[in-house]
Structure 1
Amino acid sequence: MIESYIKALIATNTVLFIGYSINDSNFNLIFQWVKNILRNHFQPAYLIESSKKYSRMEHAYYKNRGINILYYDEISNMPNNNIFDISNWRGNRLFDVLSYFNSFDKMTKMSDLEIIYNKISCFEKLNFIMPEQIVKNLGLKSVGYDLFGDRTLTILNGENGLSRVFSNHDTYKDNWIFQKIIMIFKKANIQGVSREKQIIFSIDNQDNYLANLRARIIDQDSLIDPIDINSFTSLIEGEDYFLMLKQAFAYCECDKFYDAYKYYKTISLKAFQDKEFLIYYISEFNRKHVGKFLVNGYYNVNNNIEMELKELDLENIYANLPNRERKSIEFLKELQDFNLIYKVQNKLNKEVDTLKETKRTVENGGFSFNSSLNKNFHMISNIWLFVEANYLCINKYKEIQSLYLSFVEGIFASYSTQSNNSKSFFNKVSLNKIEKLDLYEVYIIITKLKTSDFENVLVEYNLRELKLENSAFEYIMKVLDKVIDNILNNRNKKKSEHYFYNIIVLTSKTNLDFEQANLIAGKLLLLLNESINLNEFKYINKFIVAVANKEILAQSTVLDYLEKYLEIYMRNSRIIEFDNNGLYKNLTNIYVNYNEYPINKDITSSYVILIKKSYEEKEYDILYTVFENLIVPILKAISEEYKNIIIKVIESLVEKIKSKEGLLQFNELNFYYIISINDVITEDKEINKKIIEDTVVKIKNENKAVKVHPDPIERNLNILTDLYRRNKLKKEELEEFVDVFGGYSEYFDLVFNTKNLKLTDIDLLSYLKEEEIESLMNNKGMKECIYSLFEKKLRYLPFEKYEDIFGKLYAKKF
């Protein structure tokens, strides 16, 4: 009878076992009944365990069999009533638990203030909260978040607890619960409460919580104020868990994934033991993702880590967390499968599309009013703060990077919007658009975009010049100083170089003044040293050319670069090999005021000594290199005394080349070409003939089955073409070879043999003079070929080259 009665109770009611222990024989008998019944999904059963500490394995074991164990030590901040004698600790604990459960129905007796706090207090420990999660937890149907306006919690209609509390906020202003609610709102970027478009309460932001949080994140992420990654042991012994997460996050951001993984593992263990379940889940979440970076990257990962990652089940961890913690990290759970990111991405895309449509409408003479610009900013700002402030290691995923790219597209769509010059009524209405990039926008560009993506966006929106707020320029200077120092000292080099490249691309497009341009150029000069690499050369060159084209590069700055370059070569001759973008050559072209800014005589003297010594020791290869790459381009700036010595050696070398038996070596041929087109010597028909003969032999001996780069035949023909176009070679000197040379060099054929030319290299057209263009356009077939090629290659051309070719050539079509 009793057995049947108990089974019936268990089958139809929620059962709470009071006073039992897991080890009681009676409980184990009843447990068998429960196990048999509850596997058919009847009502749940619970057991209060007041004598044992929480055990995850034990809890999971019984939960899978239908009984949920409620451990005394799981309940935080539970009052101790001590209703029984102190020796009866089990009885006291059981009473405390039951009293705590009986307090649950007091929610109906809570004030509006207490109800609001109870619903959102689970977020208190987070540094930033998504405002949508506050709205969700409040559970008020008529409340929303004003994303694009005042960023208030907006009560759409009717009365509710929120409106009652904040309509009477003076009553609560000194209440500690009210102050806690306000702090949670600040963390969620909620600026106040409004009802039916009327603000009924504005939050006082004198403490600048979010502004300070943003500034701290920007400084740390920009390497201005980096986190010390050498303080692991001292931090882990403390109680500041977010400081521990911050440290581990710094490891991850520096690509020290193995160190980050070990650190997260330690944090998780400590947090779990201390029942800091929010920290525990965030740490495990990060450990999972850092582990993925380890396993999927080029790292040697031991089998233990791979096994640990397979066993690390975030879904299971989340399901076993106390309800309060589950609520506070619900958005984090959405991040696990990137649902949250996809939602934000879809919303961002919608606003970016609106900004693009606004651009088209305005530029066609219309008008558009919308809030997409504000929404674009607040959406990215909120998700950025949520990830960065709570130290979530997901920045390296392409899904996150796509968010920032979409944001920047929206910024540039607005920035590039140009008002139509027609006399339309709408042109009298001011347009809400970005006029200058601010610090936050510049920060996102520098730290979050791939350089190639940034360059593509600039091309897409045809942005030739960018204006910056003063604070944005000051920020760039701070970051530039830091990344240059890091690169020079080999600290955090990968990230520093990434930031450096983006800074150069950005400042090359910025409308800098004379002082700013030379300030940056002076900082970049620090990188010009023996250990400079290819990319550093490339981006320094990019900036120098950009500001020189704007005529804001000081001749004194150019001189500093030339002198340092020449000094470095004396210590490391390989600098020339890395300068494959032609920085030195561009500097010499910019260097025009050499009388006022002469090269240091000690430097030129050292080169004269080198030249003399190399000539005496017959080290002609060194001489060819020095003359071609360094001395000939600056010969105009060298004193007459030294210039005469140099020219004498050059003439002697030319005579040796002329008298040489057999074919020329390329370094000999190229030496003659350089000194000839730079007017150091007059044309020499004998050497021209040697180059032609060398080319004929190369064609005769060509093995078409073997491709050589660079192609020696094409190289020779390009030199001959340049010599002809510079009046250093007469057409009749190679007239009989035109047909023999056809088909090996598009450049040669473009000048000498257009009859059978199939042009594929659009860049060649930018080299031609106006009269050469006119001659080409008289050939109908060639004319159509050029137009067709231009239209095909149009989208791939850099804007400067497009403008040059279009102005010279394509506009003639119309």
Structure 2
Amino acid sequence: MSIDNKHIQNIINAKNDSSLAIFVGAGISKSSETESFKLPDWADLIKDLKTELDIQDEFDFLKIAQLYYLEFGEFIYYKKLKEYFPDYIKPSELHKLIFRINPHVIITTNWDNILERTIEENAFIYDTISSDTDLTRSSLQNKVIKMHGDFTNNNIVFKEDDYINYQLNFPLLENYLKSILSTHTVLFIGYSYNDFNLKQILKWIQKHSEVRPPMYLTTFHKNDTSKKYFENHGVTSLNIANEPKSLINFASDYSCKTYSFLDRINNQNESSVVKSESLTLDFILSKLKIFSSLEGLLLDQIQTAFSNCGFLFDEDERPILKFYQGELTGDYDQTRRNIYQNFVSILQVIDEKEKKPSARLIDIFKILSKSDIKGIVLRKEEKSPYREWYIEFSKYLGKPNSDRKEKHLNFDYSNINKSNNDVIDLLEYSFNLQQIGQLEESFQVVEEAISLCLKQRIYPLLFVAMYNRNSLLWKLKYSLGKKDIREKFSEVEEYDLKERFYNLPQELRVAIEPIYNFVDESSIISYAYRIAEDLKKTEDSKRTIESGGMVFGSEVTKYASRHNNLINFVLRNTIMVEGISAFKSINRHFVVISLHRQVQQSEVILTQTELFACIKYIELKDLKVIFNDFYNGSDKSGKFRITETEREWLVNNVFRNIVKLFLSSQEIFNKYDGYIQNTLLILSVAKHSKKQFEAIVKIIARIIAEGNNTFSIFKSINLFLGIQYNLFKSEIEPAILLEMIENLINRLITKKFNGHEYRAITTNELNNLYIYAREKEVIFDNYSMVDRLIGEIKDYNISDKIEVSQNLLLSIYDMSTERVKELIKDFILKIDTKKEKELYKRVIFKLTLAIYGLKDVDKSLKIDLDNYLSELKEKKIFSSALFMIKSQIEYLNQKDRKVLTSQLDEINKMIELHENRENLSIF
């Protein structure tokens, strides 16, 4: 990089950091001149004053102005000066460009009102400061400082007394200027080497500020002596004589050259970048360096950083970056496209000649790889104009370190390491603690991460950390059943991410905006909307294909790639976003889109990312709807396939780890309950090898033996067993079936259950387990276990005694040895059903005994049933128990035992009447 370009880059960096101050001299006002209107220079003004004073030998400008004031008085003094600066002077394009650069502060020694008019006519957001009073009233960050006052306030600085008394007349303004000059890069424009005001400012700066950022002066004429003089005062001269002529016409070459120079500042010096390989690489890297602290990047971040680019998606569903050349897009910028084509040319040489990339190129490849981009398009292939040739990063990058994301995909939060000096490690540690339910500890660690981010100025991760803190705080404030924790955090305030974001310098805001939008949830909601729209399109395509039509341009791999990129971004940066409903919607939509785009396939497959999203980010009720076609009797039943690699991962990593976390959790309600159910549903609709199926069943057996609060999981286990048997006739070893049944019985005996689990066991939520056992001809011979169970049940109330007998004891009755059967039969027949107040429970239990052949349909059963039906009629109500009773009677009648025929007829009439009422319509 040349010295001049380095200086220009310093100015650009200051602009981007909101630390640029531009001093505007009289030469800028002259850009407003036209053929019919000319502004006088200072020499003309002083000459005129000297003529009226009738003095010839005085050359001190300040003294001449002072003498004029003393001779003619204030009124004539101001009137005279205002004649040189009429209010009708219009701003030029040069004035507008100064504001478009958006310097933090514009300081001028001019008295005219051109800068104010520029603000008013173009709606630039700046406060104009001409006095201390103006400064105290200012509320905007950006300011125009008229350090020599103006005619509106009658406080211009011109004569000798004004300079001598400046500190007295402008005390606040002077202090403000001191702070600006001590902290900002300064660019002087519109001044010459001989400018009196410039020399006064330099003396003032030298007097008040010893150590400060760089200062630059644009010059039009070369003068080595003056250049050295200014360098001695800390000012670097930048000669603009060789700047290209601007496309905008000005009355003077100076204005044209100044405009071209400032345009380079405004456009990030991009026109110069095109000409240099080194500058091109610096430019590309400068667009990406803000992201270097992140572990994962969104494709949108890359597209926002560069503009004029897009992505292709190859068969492996990974994106390839393409810089636009001739494509017409809304962000069209030819200069920037020229830079990118120069960059592509550099890559082509490396690719064709197999050169070793420079360190800067390796850094670029590494950062782009964080978004899973695998390469950059170089050209179209000659043999196929529809395919693109690209440079692949993996050829030049070493083997990546172990990916943190992989552990998260595996639901593996073990081996937590904490490093007090590494933000990523702290965020990872906090994330893992949150995943295992240690919210208070996680909150403390994320606060450490925030402090370290601020200390090390790692702003992208700062917003991730602040978002995670807010997420944790919300959970702690509204913690279920933990009053002490709620009280402890009730007064702790969340971070206002919006306020923090807008306090950042402009360059950081631009770079961090995609991250801020994501953690502020605005982009998540927007993303969810866009994906919902895409889902509608794929649904239309699906219907078209199913009806025999054709669909073109389906962008098959685009959605899977985008989904993978989103999950990578969240997991690698450990963003605690899983509870956001919009984020869940995005994942649900992505999965459904994936299924839709495979509508013509004989088998349907989901990627690892999609399977992970199904488990972690989709509610079970929604997942059942998504997978309904694969298990519920449609032509797609059994057509869902999990690849061998994904199945190995799903069973041996995901399922095992989730169950391990569930069993070790101390929380009454934990998220692993839902993860287990989702995993079981996914596993249920796919065919497994014998070995894999046995591995799944062994994990299920562990849940049955050790789990707590497993009511809903029992239902999912039951569904898994039912689907696997119906679709694939999957077999379970008798020993494992027997072990699971004995573990259920043992939980009742040892009272290792809560109310929900008791209901699950005693209401036969695991009935498919017993069906499997009967199919495999399992023999249950554990007499002592049944004897102990009956010993427990003897003390139950009558309703519970009937329920356990009906749903558990009779479930194992058919598979038991004769000795065990006699024990069960003896106990059940001694149950005094007359003590059961609910008639329908008596009836169902007696019918169950008849079905099992333990008792005949006797008079007492008929009386109970008649009384129950009469009760329903009398109360004019309907009971769903009638469906159960009907099916029991019909089952008995199928065995050529025509019983309760009149009661069955009556039940059928009652059900028919109920269903007809259900179908009534007022239309």
- Supply the distance in 2 between the matched residues of 1:645 and 1:481 (Cα, whole angstroms): 38
User: Does 2:870 align with 1:691?
Assistant: no
Q: Does the CA-based 8 Å contact 1:155-1:194 persist in structure 2?
A: no
1:518 aligns with 2:694: yes
Q: Give 1:168's aligned residue.
A: 349
In the TM superposition, residue 407 of structure 1 has moved relative to its aligned partner by: 0.3
Alignment of 1:94 onto 2:212: yes
Contact 1:559 1:591 in 2 (8 A): yes
Equivalent residues in 2 for 1:284-323 (5 A)?
Answer: 284-294=466-476, 301=486, 308-309=493-494, 312-323=495-506
- Report the Cα distance in structure 2 between the residues aligned to 1:289 and 1:135, rounded to whole angstroms: 28
Letter paired with 2:814: K
Paired amino acid for 1:363: E
Question: Structure 1 residues 673 and 97, CA, compared in 2 at 3 Å: closer, same or farther?
Answer: farther
- How much does 1:473 deviate? 0.8
Match of 2:394 among 205, 222, 229: 205
Asked whether the equivalents of residues 248 and 260 of structure 1 are also in contact (C-alpha less than 8 Å), the reply is yes
The answer for the alignment partner of 1:128 in structure 2 is 296
Counterpart residue number, 2:770: 588
Within a 5 Å distance, the mapping from 1:43-54 to structure 2 comes to: 44=144
Contact 2:347 2:378 in 1 (8 A): no
Question: How many residues align structurally?
Answer: 676
Deviations 1:397-416 (A, max 9, x none): 11111110110011111234
Change (3 A) 1:518 1:32: same
Would you say 1:504 and 2:680 are equivalent positions? yes
Distance 1:94 1:411, change over 3 A: same
Indicate the SS of the match to 1:726: helix
Give 1:464's aligned residue: 637
Q: CA deviation at 1:535?
A: 0.9
Residue 188 of structure 1 is matched in structure 2 by 371
Q: Which residue of 2 aligns with 1:559?
A: 738
Give the C-alpha shift of residue 93 in structure 1.
Answer: 3.2
Per the alignment, in what secondary structure is the counterpart of residue 328 of structure 1? helix
Alpha carbons of structure 1 residues 633 and 262: separation in structure 2 relative to 1, 3 Å? closer
Q: Is the 8 A contact 2:704 2:743 kept in 1?
A: yes
Report what 1:247 is aligned to.
429
Q: Is the 8 A contact 1:152 1:190 kept in 2?
A: yes
Deviates more, 1:378-387 or 1:5-14: 5-14
Residue matched to 1:639: 817
Letter in 2 for 1:638: S
Q: Tell me, which stretches of 5 or more residues in structure 2 are unaligned?
A: 1-61, 67-77, 82-106, 117-128, 148-171, 187-205, 217-233, 239-263, 327-336, 382-387
One-letter code aligned to 1:204: F
Q: Which amino acid aligns with 2:503?
A: N
Superposition pairs for residues 211-360 of structure 1, below 5 Å?
A: 216-226=404-414, 228=416, 235-236=419-420, 238=421, 240-254=422-436, 257-294=439-476, 301=486, 308-309=493-494, 312-335=495-518, 337-360=520-543
Q: Matched residues in 2 for 1:400 and 1:90: separation?
A: 55
| Alpha-carbon offset, residue 649 of structure 1 | 5.9
Residue 183 (structure 1) shift: 1.7
Secondary structure of residue in 2 paired with 1:205: helix
How much has 1:331 moved relative to structure 2?
A: 0.7
For 1:178 and 1:662, locate their aligned partners in 2 and report how far apart those are by CA, in whole Å.
82
Cα distance change, pair 362–678 in 1 and its aligned pair in 2 (3 A): same
For 1:296-330, what per-residue CA distance to the aligned partner results, in whole angstroms no more than 9, with x for missing partners? 66576559865733xx4433322332444333312
Distance 1:573 1:259 in 2: 30
Partner of 2:658: 483
Distance 1:608 1:383 in 2: 56
Find the aligned partners of 1:97 and 1:458 in 2 and give their Cα distance.
Answer: 67
Contact 1:112–1:165 under 8 Å retained in 2: no
- Choose which of 114, 117, 136 in structure 1 pairs with 2:285: 117
* Partner secondary structure for residue 126 of structure 1: coil
Whether the 8 Å contact between 2:433 and 2:439 is mirrored in structure 1 is yes
> 1:243 and 1:588, CA in 2 relative to 1: closer, same or farther beyond 3 A?
closer
Q: CA separation in 2, counterparts of 1:681 and 1:216?
A: 63
2 CA distance for matches of 1:268 and 1:621? 58
Question: Secondary structure at 1:598's aligned position in 2?
Answer: coil
**TM-score, normalising length: structure 2:** 0.62
State the match for 2:888 in structure 1. Answer: 722
Aligned pair partner of 2:311 in 141, 145, 151: 145
**Contact map agreement 2:288 2:305 (CA 8 A) in 1:** yes
Matches within 5 A, 1:596-611: 597-599=778-780, 601=781, 603-608=782-787
1:193 is paired with a residue of what secondary structure?
A: strand
Residue in 1 that maps onto 2:93: none
Query: 2-side partners of 1:123 and 1:100: how far apart?
Result: 34
Assess if the C-alpha contact under 8 Å between 1:750 and 1:757 holds in 2: no
Q: 1:752 to 1:325 in 2, by over 3 A?
A: closer
Please tell me whether the aligned partners of residues 720 and 729 of structure 1 are also in contact (alpha carbons under 8 angstroms). no
Contact 1:415 1:435 in 2 (8 A): yes
Q: CA deviation at 1:384?
A: 2.5
- Using the TM superposition, give the Cα deviation of residue 443 of structure 1 relative to its aligned residue in structure 2, in angstroms: 1.4
Partner of 2:806: 628
Q: d(CA) in 2 for partners of 1:698 and 1:729?
A: 29
Amino acid at match of 2:662: I
- SS of match in other structure, 1:152: strand
Show CA shifts across 1:495-545 (max 9, x none).
Answer: 321210101111111123444333312210111137453112111111122
Alpha-carbon distance in 1 for matches of 2:441, 2:185 = 31
Q: Deviations over 1:475-497 (max 9, x none)?
A: 21111111222222226762321
- d(CA) in 2 for partners of 1:400 and 1:663? 50
Report which stretch shifted further, 38-47 or 518-527.
Answer: 38-47
Q: TM-score, normalised by structure 1?
A: 0.69
| Residues 757 and 209 (structure 1), Cα distance of their counterparts in 2 relative to 1, 3 Å cut | farther
Q: Deviations over 1:342-379 (max 9, x none)?
A: 44334433443343333333333333332422111122
Partner of 1:538 in structure 2? 715
Contact 1:156 1:195 in 2 (8 A): no
- 1:348–1:376 CA contact under 8 A, matched in 2: no
Q: Is the 8 A contact 1:351 1:372 kept in 2?
A: no
Cα RMSD of the aligned pairs, angstroms, is 4.9
Structure 2 distance, partners of 1:97, 1:268, is 35
- Taking the aligned partners of 1:696 and 1:689, their CA distance within structure 2 comes to 11
Contact 2:763 2:807 in 1 (8 A): no
Secondary structure of the 1:378 match is: helix
CA gap 1:542/1:609 in 2 versus in 1, 3 angstroms: closer
Bigger radius of gyration: 2
From 362, 378, 401, the counterpart of 2:545: 362
Is the alpha carbon distance of 1:101 and 1:366 closer, same or farther for their aligned partners in structure 2, counting shifts above 3 Å? farther
Conservation of the 8 A alpha-carbon contact between 2:764 and 2:807: no
CA distance in 1, matches of 2:817, 2:901: 38
Partner of 2:247: none
| Partner residue, 2:848 | 674
Name the SS for the 1:145 alignment partner: strand
Distance in 1 between residues matched to 2:798 and 2:694, nearest whole Å? 38
Alpha-carbon separation, structure 2, partners of 1:185 and 1:619: 68
Q: Partners of 2:369 and 2:691 in 1: how far apart?
A: 41
Q: Supply the distance in 1 between the matched residues of 2:173 and 2:516 (Cα, whole angstroms).
A: 25
Q: How does 1:42-81 map to 2 (within 5 A)?
A: 44=144, 69=180
State the Cα distance separating 1:451 from its structure 2 match.
Answer: 1.2
8 Å contact 1:594–1:637 — kept in the other structure?
Answer: no
CA spacing shift, 1:12–1:124, aligned 2, 3 Å? farther
Separation in 2 of the partners of 1:201 and 1:662?
78
Letter of the 1:726 counterpart? L
Shift of residue 467, structure 1, vs aligned partner: 0.4
The answer to whether the 8 Å contact 2:478/2:486 transfers is: no
Which residue, out of 413, 417, 425, partners 2:596?
413
8 Å CA contact 2:655–2:679 kept in 1: the answer is yes
Q: In the alignment, does 2:135 pair up with 1:35? A: yes
Q: 1:355 to 1:564 in 2, by over 3 A?
A: same
1:113 and 1:177 in contact (8 A); partners too: yes
